[in-house]
């Protein structure tokens, strides 16, 4: 690390999660001097992408040092996996896999900040629902629209009509508040039955990607998420409405954002965090673990896991209402086959997808009362694994041993429902927690704490709103959030050298 002797900086950002890194990007052309630190040795925080060796080190560190964000991590290897994995060294396994809808607010700011040309996005094609039947189990594709509904032989003519009526409604549900607002706190399944005569439709529940059971998934939560899904289809091409960043998900966005900040003078220090912030007694720096040869910043920004509990901070963002758990069980599994049947082009002229979503509805596995399980499957085209394999990211709102057993059963059931020959070669299991930070009334604090994002698989545009709110606190007179001019040749060359 270069010496920070005599360095003056305006903003200290702690942690390289997606919110902090986007803020660093927003500040990169502002003239503010930024010191960006992370207690970990890798970029990304909860969105980090790890190699197999890094995953081993991460588990060892996690189980030896108490953390608030992750817990109960373990790695399981199959006998076959030991041999097959030894042949390959290139894995980019995401701790926080995320799909980004094509109408998400993230994509426009990547374009306006001139960083989109350093990123590559892959299509998420099919949505599937796991169905357990008397003669076995199968994975059924969720209809993408009118044509799929009328081509589905499993639906009666009456049900097709009811589904079409609902789809017409949800396409512009904001314009019909009288239909849904009186039922905003009603379970979504009850709303479907009472207003549209539909039974609890697993395919519609799958589109809202709720981690809670239907009884806890409200109409207010489900409607905008289903509308977002349907409105996003076709924006960038036929047959898909969501994308995933190549080379490890949001970790790649993080690194591009941090690189842009570094090119314009931002200083990066990994393996150093903030353990405490004491009231200043003198002109000397009062932030422990940061080199004392620096001056005190005007603002300190981070998430709950990256900042000490005191002194008081101003919370940026509010907790999302609805079916959002505060803890989830997750697993990352390397599959021995490519599972190509999940990555079929679903529309004429469409691109080959690199991602698929499989939802296991509540009660579809051995336990009659379990919460839904969601599995995102990424092909080798994402750059996360070698050809001939794929990655299954699984998540559920049940924690503890029960949660990990449920995820293992879901992955096993998915493999059995497909070809029965695919195997789980390697699996990382862990729990992730999101701190429910109370809304802050503090308006004068120079310490800004981001609300933790929701724990589901969808990029939440509230992240962009939070970043902009923090940016506005630091630059109250500015009005050009993430709007950058063209980079000159020297900046472009320096950024290329950083890669």
**pLDDT value at 195 more than 50:** yes
Give the whole-number percent of the chain exceeding pLDDT 90: 63
More confident residue, 445 or 250: 250
Q: What residue ranges of the chain are covered by domains with CATH 3.30.519?
A: 60-89+121-144+233-245+327-433
Over the stretch 160-174, which tens digit does the pLDDT of each residue have? 899 999 999 999 999
The CATH class, in words, for 146-231 is mainly alpha
Provide the pLDDT for residue 190.
Answer: 94
Backbone angles phi, psi at 135, to 5 degrees: -95, 20
Pairing of strands 314-316, 447-450: parallel
Over range 25-40, report the average pLDDT.
Answer: 92
User: What's the CA gap between 122 and 94, in Å, rounded?
Assistant: 15
| Span 218-244, pLDDT tens digits | 999 999 999 999 999 999 999 899 999
Q: What are phi and psi of 299, to 5 degrees?
A: -135, 145
Phi, psi (deg, nearest 5) at residue 204 = -70, -40
Quick check: 95 and 305 in contact, CB under 8 A? no
Q: What value does the CA radius of gyration of the chain take, rounded to a whole number of Å?
A: 23
Q: Is the pLDDT of residue 110 over 90?
A: yes
Would you state the pLDDT for residue 282?
45
**132 has a pLDDT exceeding 50:** yes
Q: What is the pLDDT of residue 371?
A: 92
Average pLDDT estimate for 205-214: 91
Q: Map residue 425 onto helix, strand or coil.
A: strand
Q: Do residues 143 and 203 touch, judged by C-beta distance below 8 A?
A: yes
Banded pLDDT at 283 (limits 50, 70, 90): very low
Contacts of 441 (CB under 8 A, 6+ apart): none
Neighbours of 442 (CB within 10 A): 13
Phi, psi of 127 (to 5 degrees): -105, 135
Q: Cα 445 from chain centroid?
A: 29
**Which positions ≥6 away from 471 have C-beta within 8 Å?**
23, 26, 27, 478, 481
Cα–Cα distance for residue pair 126/240, rounded to 1 Å: 8
CA distances in angstroms from 213 to 188, 197, 364, 368, listed in the order given: 10, 20, 12, 11
What is the pLDDT confidence band of residue 285, given thresholds at 50, 70 and 90?
Answer: very low
Q: Where in the chain is the domain with CATH 1.10.405.10?
A: 146-231
pLDDT at 209 over 50: yes
pLDDT at 433 over 90: yes
CATH code for 60-89+121-144+233-245+327-433? 3.30.519
Answer yes or no: is pLDDT of 452 > 60. yes
pLDDT for 464 beyond 70 = yes
**Distance set, CA 340 to CA 245, 308, 381, 388 (Å):** 20, 46, 11, 9
In this structure, what token pair is assigned to residue 100?
């980004």
Q: Where in the chain is the domain with CATH 3.50.50.60?
A: 11-51+248-319+436-498
> Regarding predicted confidence, which is higher, 199 or 261?
261
Alpha helices (runs of H) in 172-281, residue ranges in sequence order: 177-180, 188-196, 202-208, 219-232, 250-263
In CATH, which of 3.90.230.10, 3.20.20.60, 3.40.50.2000, 3.50.50.60 is domain 11-51+248-319+436-498? 3.50.50.60
Q: Left (φ > 0), alpha (ψ -120 to 50) or beta: where does 481 sit?
A: beta
Looking at per-residue pLDDT, the higher value among 486 and 4 belongs to 486
């Amino acid at each position: 690390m270069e010496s920070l002797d005599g360095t003056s900086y305006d903003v200290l950002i702690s942690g390289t999660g997606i919110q902090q890194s986007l803020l660093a990007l927003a500040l990169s052309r502002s003239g503010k001097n930024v010191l960006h630190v992370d207690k970990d040795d890798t970029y990304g925080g909860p969105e980090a992408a790890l190699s197999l060796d890094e995953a081993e080190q991460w588990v060892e560190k996690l189980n030896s040092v108490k953390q608030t964000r992750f817990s109960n991590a373990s790695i399981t290897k199959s006998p076959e996996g030991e041999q097959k994995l030894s042949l390959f060294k290139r894995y980019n396994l995401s701790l926080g896999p995320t799909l980004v809808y094509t109408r998400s607010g993230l994509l426009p700011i990547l374009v306006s900040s001139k960083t989109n040309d350093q990123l590559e996005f892959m299509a998420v094609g099919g949505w599937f629902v796991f169905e357990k039947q008397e003669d076995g189990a199968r994975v059924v594709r969720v209809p993408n629209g009118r044509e799929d509904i009328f081509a589905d032989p499993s639906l009666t003519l009456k049900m097709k009509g009811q589904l079409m009526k609902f789809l017409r409604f949800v396409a512009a549900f904001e314009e019909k508040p009288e239909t849904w607002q009186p039922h905003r706190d009603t379970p979504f399944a009850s709303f479907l039955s009472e207003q549209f005569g539909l039974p609890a439709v697993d395919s519609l529940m799958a589109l809202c990607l709720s981690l809670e059971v239907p009884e806890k998934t409200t109409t207010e939560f489900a409607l905008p998420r289903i509308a977002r899904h349907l409105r996003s289809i076709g924006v960038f091409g036929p047959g898909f409405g969501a994308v995933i960043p190549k080379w490890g998900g949001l970790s790649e966005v993080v690194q591009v954002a941090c690189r842009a900040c570094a090119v314009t003078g931002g200083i990066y220090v990994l393996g150093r965090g903030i353990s405490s912030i004491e009231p200043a007694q003198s002109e000397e720096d009062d932030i422990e673990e940061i080199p004392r040869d620096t001056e005190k910043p005007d603002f300190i920004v981070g998430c709950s896991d990256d900042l000490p509990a005191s002194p008081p901070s101003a919370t940026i963002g509010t907790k999302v209402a609805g079916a959002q758990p505060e803890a989830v069980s997750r697993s990352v599994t390397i599959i021995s086959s490519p599972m190509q049947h999940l990555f079929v082009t679903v529309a004429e002229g469409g691109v080959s997808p690199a991602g698929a979503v499989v939802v296991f509805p509540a009660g579809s596995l051995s336990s009659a009362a379990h919460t839904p399980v969601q599995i995102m499957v990424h092909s080798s085209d994402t750059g996360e694994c070698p050809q001939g394999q794929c990655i299954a990211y699984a998540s559920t709102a049940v924690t503890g041993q029960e949660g990990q057993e449920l995820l293992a059963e879901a992955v096993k059931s998915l493999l059995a429902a497909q070809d029965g020959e695919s195997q789980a070669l390697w699996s990382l299991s862990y729990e992730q927690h999101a701190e429910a930070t109370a809304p802050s009334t503090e308006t004068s604090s120079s310490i800004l704490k981001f609300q933790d994002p929701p724990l589901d698989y969808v990029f939440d545009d509230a992240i962009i709103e939070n970043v902009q709110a923090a940016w506005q606190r630091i630059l109250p007179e500015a009005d050009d959030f993430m709007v950058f001019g063209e980079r000159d040749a020297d900046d472009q060359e320096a950024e290329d050298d950083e890669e």
